[in-house]
Structure 1
Amino acid sequence: MTSTDKLRNIGPKSAAWLRQVGLRTREDLAAVGTVEAFMRVKRAGFKPTLNLLYAIEGALQDCHWQEIPDTRRSELIIAADAAIAQLPPPRYKPAAAPVTTTQMSEDSSMAMPTLFDEPGERD
């Protein structure tokens, strides 16, 4: 967004993100829509929050982002969640797996070494 094309709700950081993904004008945003604009920012590696989603919608509707009705917010969240679910897993990070916890009884015969134990020395 240029200074002559200032959009409501879009601050400097959001404007920079949108410019970096090729969305420079209100017409650019309207052409791709709220969710796709949000997803382009996300796919570019930035970490947008729901505030950006609402800000884009407010900019397109020419209203303050807090004036967006709850039903529309819910629609946007559902659409964004569905789009996020289609993203590939992050590179260089394993996919999240369920976490399991193992508990050992206190009378366990296997004593855990402490930080200062010498190898082979256990209580």
Structure 2
Amino acid sequence: MTVTALRNIGPKSAAWLRQVGLRSAEDLKAAGAVDAFMRIRRAGFRPSLNLLYSLEGALVDCHWQEIPEHRRQELVQAVEAASALLPAPRGRPAAAPVTTTHREHEDSAPSLDFFDSPDRED
């Protein structure tokens, strides 16, 4: 059975699942809701928690809104734990402490002679 035939899985969710290698109900069952959700996140998509609940609902064959609150909390905690293990996003430096520099004397201000020079051509 393909993922498109599963309850709660619409075209966009099915496309994301296919793109991360989860093409069948068996693939999704083997991965589980949390791993499937994390694969989608790691692939660069930005799924909401509703997808997580939808994946769980697909696995237990119920509407995603019927997932009990305690189970939703377990799923979110599992995603948070898995997210903490991910490396920092590429292209963004790790945050560093912020420092502020104050000039105490006017003498330390940079010279503006270059900008005021009458010999300068614009």
Structure 1 segments of 4+ aligned residues over 3 angstroms from their partners:
96-100
RMSD: 2.3
Q: Structure 2 regions of 5+ residues with no counterpart?
A: 107-114, 117-122
1: CA distance between counterparts of 2:69 and 2:19? 30
1:29 and 2:28 are equivalent in the alignment:
yes
Query: Which has the higher Rg, Structure 1 or Structure 2?
Result: 2
Relative to structure 1, the CA distance from residue 62 to residue 87 in structure 2 (aligned partners, 3 Å threshold; closer, same or farther) is: same
Shift of 1:99: 6.2
1: CA distance between counterparts of 2:94 and 2:68? 35
Relative to structure 1, the CA distance from residue 2 to residue 93 in structure 2 (aligned partners, 3 Å threshold; closer, same or farther) is: same
AA in 2 matched with 1:70: E
Shift of 1:25: 1.1
Deviations 1:16-43 (A, max 9, x none): 0000001011111110111000011011
AA in 1 matched with 2:18: R
1:9 and 2:8 are equivalent in the alignment:
yes
1: CA distance between counterparts of 2:96 and 2:28? 36
1: CA distance between counterparts of 2:76 and 2:90? 25
Tell me the number of residue pairs that the alignment of Structure 1 and Structure 2 aligns: 106
Relative to structure 1, the CA distance from residue 97 to residue 9 in structure 2 (aligned partners, 3 Å threshold; closer, same or farther) is: farther
Relative to structure 1, the CA distance from residue 18 to residue 99 in structure 2 (aligned partners, 3 Å threshold; closer, same or farther) is: farther
AA in 2 matched with 1:45: G
Q: Structure 1-normalised TM-score?
A: 0.75
1:54 and 2:48 are equivalent in the alignment:
no
The residue aligned with 2:78 is 79
The residue aligned with 2:69 is 70
Relative to structure 1, the CA distance from residue 11 to residue 99 in structure 2 (aligned partners, 3 Å threshold; closer, same or farther) is: farther
Q: Percent identity?
A: 69
Q: Structure 1 regions of 5+ residues with no counterpart?
A: 111-118
